[in-house]
Amino acid sequence: MSVISSVSAKGAITTDIIISDLPDDVIAALDAIAERVAMTREDFITAVLWREARKPLLTEAEYEEAREAFARLAWMLGDAHQASP
């Protein structure tokens, strides 16, 4: 995969992503899905990347669990720090 950034005529920074070595069956599947939703392959892949990039890395429950675990760890480390000479 290659990532190429450039500046457009209007001064906006654009980025092209080049993905190589995809098997023909993967390309065919992407084309079939794109055609089914009336999109070009490029537009479909762009939409998938936008959707994936906007997904939260953690669910709300996972975030809360991690926050509570971190708070417990900080509390335990604080107690250990206070107990040491």
pLDDT of residue 38: 96
pLDDT of residue 40: 95
Question: pLDDT (tens digit, 9 = 90+) per residue, 6-21?
Answer: 777 778 887 888 888 9
Question: pLDDT (tens digit, 9 = 90+) per residue, 37-84?
Answer: 999 999 999 999 999 989 888 888 998 999 999 999 888 887 655 554
Q: Half-sphere exposure of 68 toward its Cβ, with a 13 Å CA cutoff?
A: 6
Residue found by looking up tokens 């480390």 in the block = 77
Euclidean distance between CA atoms 59 and 54, whole angstroms: 13
